[in-house]
Amino acid sequence: MATTRSPKPRTGKKPSTEHRPRVERKPRAEQKPGAEHKSRAEAKPRVERKPRADAKPRAEYKPRVAYKPRAEPKSRGEEQSRAEPKARSEHKPRVERQSRADQKPRAEYKPRVEHKPRGRGERSVVPAKAPAHKPDELQRLQKALASGGYGSRRQIEEWIRAGRVSVNGKVATLGVSVRSTDKIILDGKLVSKTRLASAEPRVIMYHKPAGEVCTRNDPEGRPTVFESLPKIGTGRWVVIGRLDFMTTGLLLFTTDGELANKLMHPSGEVEREYAVRVLGEVDLEMLNRLRKGVMLEDGLAKFDTILQVGGEGANSWYHVILREGRNREVRRLWETQGVKVSRLTRVRFGAITLPRSLRAGKWRELTDEETEALNAISG
């Protein structure tokens, strides 16, 4: 019969008999002979270095000075107590000043007004200037509304003819005079009395960039110049001389509609200076025709001055001056000569020049000298 081997028990560890026997290490005598350790006496003696002939002698050793602890500082009161007090006789008596007969009496002390800190989001109140006219002073209706910033004088005259304005319950007519205390209604809305008796008109300059229109509301949704102007409490900004969509440069705005009307009226003949880049060949005959006058769709037009300031060949820069502000007049004048304006910038309006420090899209207030020069032009 075949014998069957019984399976080994499945345990984690093998029985100790199955482990290999431990190998015993041989004693040191049976180990292979190796290099014996040399004794200190057999080692090579240390070679002493000989001093060089040019070597400097070693400095003599100086013992360190012993540290002496600093004495503790005396207190202030102890020093004062040890100091001998001065005798009273050594002190000089205080000389009393005698009041002069012509001396003014001393003003009474007024307590300083405490500064009230502004809250977050509050604005500092700037005192308003003196009003431009007395409240009880009579003035023409169109002049009063124009000064309040409701529109230009010519525009308000058209409103009066159309019967859109009433004074104290009666429909107004041209030539009627009003006071700031009168009840004036425009298109069914009461005109603010404080707006009619407003402070001195403001005038600012604005550097118009390309791509902005000079209307308040554009049906095409394009950006307007009025979006970049500062907000005012009373009145509204009136533009003095418009610029087309792609023209850049100087624009003036005021809260006085009458001043804007005087500066824009053709009878004022205020000079406008433009920097023009012309695309195309320009000869002397063309410049002479532009100086003498060219017939446009809306009448005869001309440049008072034409001055070449740079450029060569097909791209030349000119400075031109004219005394009126028709729609796209500068561009149309050059187009009559078979050339095209590729860039147009207004650099001066009357006595006001566009400063180089004013960047496109920025504005600033006119100085007192500039305002006086502008009022002198308007008369």
Residues with catalytic roles: 244
Distance, in Å, from the CA atom of 353 to the CA atom of 376, rounded to the nearest integer, reads: 16
The CA distance from 145 to 174, in Å, is: 13
- Three-state SS for 224? strand
Q: How far is CA 87 from the centre of its chain?
A: 69
Residue 377 makes CB contacts below 8 A (sequence gap 6+) with 263, 268, 270, 350, 351
Secondary structure E strands in the chain: 139-140, 165-167, 170-171, 177-178, 184-186, 189-190, 203-208, 238-240, 248-254, 272-279, 294-296, 299-301, 305-312, 315-322, 340-349, 352-353, 363-365
Q: Which pair of structure tokens corresponds to residue 28?
A: 């040191």
Residue with tokens 């093998």: 14
Q: How far apart are CA 365 and CA 374, in angstroms?
A: 13
Q: Which two tokens stand for residue 135?
A: 């409240």
Whole-angstrom Cα distance, residue 126 to residue 321? 40
Residue-by-residue DSSP string for 36-97: PPPPTTTSPPPPPPPPPTTPPPPPPP-PPPPPPPPPPPPPHHHHHHHSPPPPGGGSPPPPPP
